[in-house]
């Protein structure tokens, strides 16, 4: 398989337990379907619960056809500008693979990490309720859904304590008084 940008043969390697194909010349990476999510999940466990499904939210992106072809199935790639990440991800409508230029994966992770830090407690509360529902009905395994639920609860706790420092002090005082 060759790089869609510079036609150099892609080299397979493992990153965070995910097999990727990388161009040694331009440092772009090819990810087969679902590998972008798996790579994101392996990079930072706190990001696992955050969905980054490119094809599930048509209202969040704008498609632009690219003059490069999919290295896996030769279909012309389309650029998906996802949300406000500032990254235009090159995707294949055929095999659902993803091409990321050299710095794009880092930008995606930075954007998601920033979202993690700036999400308000009310949004974490909504997300925790959704994750609780997915414990029973979610598409992933119970263990995976449980990890997502616990992560969201932890983020909710951090956000509540960050937004309400007096609550944190009161909680610490309560814990100190209730110890035997």
Residue 63 above 70 pLDDT?
Answer: no
Q: What is the pLDDT of residue 27?
A: 96
Residue 158 counted as domain residue: yes
Asked which of 118, 138, 153 is the last residue of a domain, the reply is 118
Backbone phi, psi, residue 169, to 5°: -65, -45
Range of the domain at 27: 11-118
Give the range with max mean pLDDT: 22-26, 56-60, 102-106, 113-117.
22-26
Share of the chain above pLDDT 90, in %: 27
Q: What is the pLDDT of residue 47?
A: 83
Lowest pLDDT segment from 52-61, 107-116, 126-135, 152-161? 52-61
Asked if 81 and 137 sit in the same domain, the reply is no
Asked if 99 and 80 sit in the same domain, the reply is yes
Share of the chain above pLDDT 70, in %: 90
Give dist(CA 151, CA 131) in Å, integer: 10
Asked if 16 and 72 sit in the same domain, the reply is yes
Single pTM value for the model = 0.75
Please give the order of strands across the beta sheet that includes 18-22: 11-15, 18-22, 29-31, 98-100, 88-92, 76-82, 61-69
Asked if 45 and 111 sit in the same domain, the reply is yes
By the 10 Å C-beta count (0-12 exposed, 13-18 middle, 19+ buried), 115 is classed as: middle
Q: How would residue 60 be classed by pLDDT, with cut points 50, 70 and 90?
A: low
Asked if 141 and 99 sit in the same domain, the reply is no
């Amino acid at each position: 398989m060759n790089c869609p940008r510079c036609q150099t043969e892609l080299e397979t390697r493992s990153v965070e337990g995910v097999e990727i194909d990388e161009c040694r010349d331009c440092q772009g990476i090819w990810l087969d379907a679902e590998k972008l999510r798996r790579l994101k999940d392996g990079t930072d466990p706190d990001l696992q619960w955050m969905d980054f499904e490119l094809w599930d939210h048509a209202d969040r992106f704008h498609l632009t056809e690219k003059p490069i072809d999919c290295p896996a199935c030769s279909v012309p790639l389309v650029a998906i500008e996802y949300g406000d990440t500032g990254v235009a991800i090159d995707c294949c409508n055929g095999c659902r693979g993803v091409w990321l230029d050299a710095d794009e994966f880092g930008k995606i992770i930075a954007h998601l990490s920033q979202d993690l830090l700036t999400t308000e407690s009310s949004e974490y509360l909504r997300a925790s309720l959704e994750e609780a529902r997915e414990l029973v009905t979610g598409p992933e395994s119970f263990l995976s859904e449980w990890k997502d639920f616990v992560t969201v609860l932890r983020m909710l706790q951090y956000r509540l304590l960050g937004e309400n420092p007096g609550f944190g002090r009161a909680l610490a005082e309560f814990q100190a008084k209730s110890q035997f």
